[in-house]
Amino acid sequence: MVLCLLAAGASFAGEPAALPDSVRAPAEKLRDGILAGSRAADWVREITDAAGPRMPGTPGDRAGVAAAVALLKAQGFAGVRAERVMVPAWARGVETGEVSAPSPHVLALTALGGSVGTPPAGVEAEILRVASLEELGARGEAVRGRIVFIDRPMSRTSDGTGYGDAAQVRSRGPSLAGRLGAVGVLIRSIGTDDNRLPHTGAMRYEKGVPQIPAAALSIPDAELLARLVRRGGPVRVRFTLGCHGIPDAESANVVGEIVGRDKPDEIVLLGAHIDSWDLGEGALDDAAGCGIVIEAARQIAALPRRPRRTIRVVLFANEEAGLAGGKAYAEDHAAELERHVAAIESDLGQGPPLGFSWDAGPNAAAPLKEIAALLAPIGADHLAPGEAGGADLSYLLPSGIPSLGMLQDATQYFDYHHTANDTFDKIDPKILDRSTAALAATAWVLAESSGVLERIPAEKRELPAWLR
């Protein structure tokens, strides 16, 4: 099978050309019909109300999988199944924190996902405040015996770019501090709010490095610690974490399809993740994405004519704590990855759509501009080339599948991200419909057009270093 741009005459071949009416008109109908009202928010509510928090390997996770399977079956998807995935499991436990000197203050904190716990009595030490990982590395022996406080704010941006850099503190900080002899780590929450609700999120320990307990402070409490340090004199903190790892558990990727009419073996994958952190309901992260992709596929199925290719919805397991679902999907479907012509992921909450990031061959730029033109009326025509399509799609990179990631306005998203405030009341159905309309129109064009996007060049298919 040739998975590249087809010869002259195909809608994705050669120089940019207007989409044929047989492709464009249904895409416009999808876009406008969904904007007038869809059921995307209903699917978010069904998942969150049925399961609540969906930490990988927990009863809530299993309830989320069951709810998603039932939902896809009820909406007429074909081949609905839960594909088994073994996931790492972890339990949170008790969490307390306080400033013990120079004056007593209770601290709002939460363990970072995957952290080890403290001894039952907790850990207490003088804190060492640093503003970055680079400063931490430069402090050398000054770190030994201290609780490191990494005070690195995240900037508020509409495109969410402030998150990636700030999140390095969460993922890498505990091991760097442990290597230098720290007894614990506290980080300023990776978020943009001013609530006393700390943000959790995954961290990972490097092999051969002492594992020390790690927690995130709510942003007001991080600012309190910073003020105390600036006053001069030692600042001591005591904190207790009851978190611990538990045996790997069974979860599942939830899969359902709208079977293509002419080329059912060719697949356009629409992905989101079904798991969440345990503090809130995971309504924004990522039940919103699940609602978007389910409703987009359902609306495509309701058209008078189904697309040429199969639309496959995949609700991935374990995005938050290790991408086991994405890895399992790539392994379980290795024999058919050559027939995946595109993959799209929705995992940025419910903000208004801005467009898509994309990773494909250079000739994909022209057809994607045609798709962007369809989305211009709803402000979703921005294209960001060379960017990953989404974390769950990472393990598809070696197969060269063109991947797209939905870009949404993230100005408010990181106020709620990974906190107890990620609840269904944050969902605005009308805004969610806009993202659903953008994704549905894009998926229809990719599944219906006679041509396909050029695959990622072979020299750019290596897994990122952090996955290897």
Count of H-run helices and E-run strands, the chain: 11, 16
Closest residue by Cα to residue 358 from 465, 455, 462: 455
Sign of the torsion angle spanned by Cα atoms 226, 193, 273, 70: positive
| 3-class DSSP state of 257 | strand
CA–CA separation, 49 and 395 (whole Å): 31
DSSP 8-state assignment for residue 394: G
Quote the distance between the C-alpha of residue 326 and its chain's center.
Answer: 12
Whose tokens are 């050669």? That residue is 14
**Residue pair 218/279 in contact by the 8 Å Cβ criterion:** no
Cα three-residue angle 424-429-434, rounded to 5 degrees: 130
Tokens found for residue 445: 């064009």
**Residue pair 90/243 in contact by the 8 Å Cβ criterion:** yes
Among the options 281, 319, 345, 454, which is catalytic? 319
319 is catalytic: yes
CA–CA separation, 298 and 380 (whole Å): 21
- Using CA atoms, how far residue 232 sits from 136, 226, 239, 293, 401, in Å, is 19, 10, 22, 53, 55
Tokens found for residue 263: 């080329």
DSSP 8-state assignment for residue 317: S
What pairs with residue 385 in β-bridges? Answer: 358
Continuous segment of H or E residues that includes residue 239:
strand 236-241
Show which residues are catalytic.
319
